Amino acid sequence: MIDVTLANFQAEVLEASLTTPVLVDFWAPWCGPCKVLGPILEKVEQAYAGRFKLVKVNTEDEQQLAGYFQIRSIPTCILFVGGQPVDGFMGALPEGQIRAFLDRNLPSEADLQAEAERAEAEAAAAQGDADTALQRLRDALAQAPDNDDVRFDLVRLLIGSGQLGEAAAALAPALGKIPVPLRFEALAQWLHALEFATTDPRGRWPLEKFDELIAANKRDFETRFAKARVLIARGDWTAAMDELLEIILRDKKWADEAPRKTVVALLELLTPPKRDAGAAPKSAAGLEIAGHAAAAEDPQAELVSRYRRKLSMALN
């Protein structure tokens, strides 16, 4: 437990909460219930062994901070995750209710272990050890089957490794959600393209054969779409999107908008992952972490932006 002031709030709360949830206890020396709550919070912090960080704000000394967060009654506790306040409570709650509050908002032990396995998988994949990465992710998903981040990483690596059957089985629970999260719909589109390339006779055609048929009939959308799937399977996603955009320009509604859905899926998969350190998180009260320079757009992000514009123009 540490004392926080306006001077170090950004570092000790907003920045710190990007990696570990931070519980802020707004209190005052004259407040009887605060004196009851404080030791309970410290006991729970020790019991949770690093799952969250506890800090205290003396509202008598830090009235500006109290004003930012509209503290009307003390004790008031606010939990910060990812630089944002996500939940809170007022009053000297008993230990059981505090634990229930934390368990509702903090990752479980299984999720923490799964995230550790996921980090090891990422390191193994970066070193080219796909087998180890896959096993780590399988273990992680077994421990935390509701962890969508782990499931996404596993399915993506399985597809990239050509293990399409296992990928389809691992993807199925995510596709059963309503609505289906976009990133899992994107994986499904990629998987369908690879399945097409391995099971449909056209998957073995040379590209020249597709081009001959398309040259003879610019509106041969079936052939254009098949060619796009073959290009996706071969990893030439920009060429695939160019072919799909040609269909969209000529018939936006063809095949229940399958070309548009496929382009959206590819853009989702091509979009670089967000990095917390590149953003300047703000609290709901308007506090902002200073010192975060805007990063220049990388080539991958530029490519995605360019094709998003192309898709928008084709749809208009």
DSSP string, 96-163: HHHHHHHHHHSPPHHHHHHHHHHHHHHHHHHTT-HHHHHHHHHHHHHH-TT-HHHHHHHHHHHHHTT-
Quick one: pLDDT at residue 274? 67
Predicted TM-score of the model (pTM):
0.71
What are phi and psi for residue 282, nearest 5 degrees?
-120, 150
The answer to which of 85-94, 147-156, 266-275 has the lowest mean pLDDT is 266-275
* pLDDT above 70 coverage of the chain, percent: 92
**For 85-92, which contacts have Cβ atoms below 8 Å and span 24 or more sequence positions?**
85/283, 85/284, 91/33, 91/37, 92/33, 92/34, 92/36, 92/37, 92/40
Mean pLDDT, all residues of the chain:
90
Tens-place pLDDT, residues 272-299: 876 544 444 443 333 443 333 344 568 9
On the question of pLDDT at 127 being above 60, the answer is yes
Report pLDDT for 278: 40
Has residue 131 got a pLDDT over 80? yes
CB 219 within 8 A of CB 250: yes
Residues above pLDDT 90, as percent of the chain: 83
**Across residues 21-25, what is the average pLDDT?**
96
43 has a pLDDT exceeding 80: yes
| pLDDT at residue 297 in the model | 60
Kindly list the catalytic residues: 31, 34
